[in-house]
Structure 1
């Protein structure tokens, strides 16, 4: 793909993503059609199917983009502990509150967990680069950590995101201290 075609494809993907997110404000995700997305984006169905197989693919790609953005922030912040990563995580999602509310409205907040599972090993390596763990131990440890973190995220969104990321990190820290005592 030449540079011009690549730029056009990226622009079309953004238009389709924006169209889907706009439609999710007033429609349930399950009822949104490819035709509606194309109309909202002012693009043809042919363009849609050249870039995606389904509307779910748009959402997956958008979540992947957000995951990459989060990893970049973590990489720049150089956190050393889980609580620091959690603070960054909640702060990151506060910046994407509108998107979280769209997911909440559509009863889809759980999709964040699946994306987080995919990115967790690389984030772990950024935070603890010299820690060598058995593959099974790492897998279960990350699942445990993400389960709690995403459970808190969902609770936070359902409560209107009124607490700050620092307050959530403090609650997490206190919870972890209670769990080990």
Structure 2
């Protein structure tokens, strides 16, 4: 990456940070591109070189964080992990994003993130072929992955809005215990 590309990446990061700083103070609907650029100490021209509008900026964050999660999963050896390890990893990753996620939830923008992340579910399944994943038709796999993603995101939305959320390890333990009980009662 050359210097100009690094500067463009840094500008995008500053603009994303500026958007979240503004979300603390006011509703998303009232935030303007001018405010975002000023908060980032950049020109509107710089903003428009990177993004069409503030929705594009928010979508870029959603895509970027989803891509970071996907990249992080690729670093794990799934054949050596048990399902509880994956749950712990899931909660630890999103715990790092909890301030941004909470703002998105409070502003009614969390669904936008889910819409960006859900299509990545099949990619996650492809790059992270864990032993507990189902083997089935592409249609069956797509539905099961959508079901799982939706479930995980609903858990995130209940967990991170709490004033005192449980730790990632506690969440993994709670969810694992609940899933085990669910499996026991389905016979």
| TM-score of the superposed pair, with normalisation by structure 1 | 0.86
Runs of 5+ consecutive residues of structure 1 not aligned to the other structure: none
Is the contact between residue 156 and residue 162 of structure 1 (CA under 8 Å) also seen in structure 2?
Answer: yes
- Paired residue total: 180
Return the alpha-carbon distance in structure 1 between the equivalents of residues 113 and 51 of structure 2.
Answer: 20
The offset of 1:61, in angstroms, is: 1.2
3-state SS, counterpart of residue 163 of structure 2: coil
Indicate the residue corresponding to 2:92 in structure 1. 91
3-state SS, counterpart of residue 165 of structure 2: coil
CA displacement, residues 122-155 of structure 1 (integer Å, 9 cap, x when unaligned): 2212331787532211110011111111111001
Within 5 Å, give how 1:73-92 maps onto structure 2: 73-79=72-78, 80=81, 82-92=83-93
Runs of 5+ consecutive residues of structure 2 not aligned to the other structure: none
Is 54-63 or 6-15 further displaced after alignment?
6-15
Return the alpha-carbon distance in structure 1 between the equivalents of residues 9 and 3 of structure 2.
Answer: 10
Indicate the residue corresponding to 1:54 in structure 2. 53
Indicate the residue corresponding to 1:115 in structure 2. 116
| TM-score of the superposed pair, with normalisation by structure 2 | 0.84
Return the alpha-carbon distance in structure 2 between the equivalents of residues 85 and 117 of structure 1.
Answer: 18
Indicate the residue corresponding to 2:167 in structure 1. 164
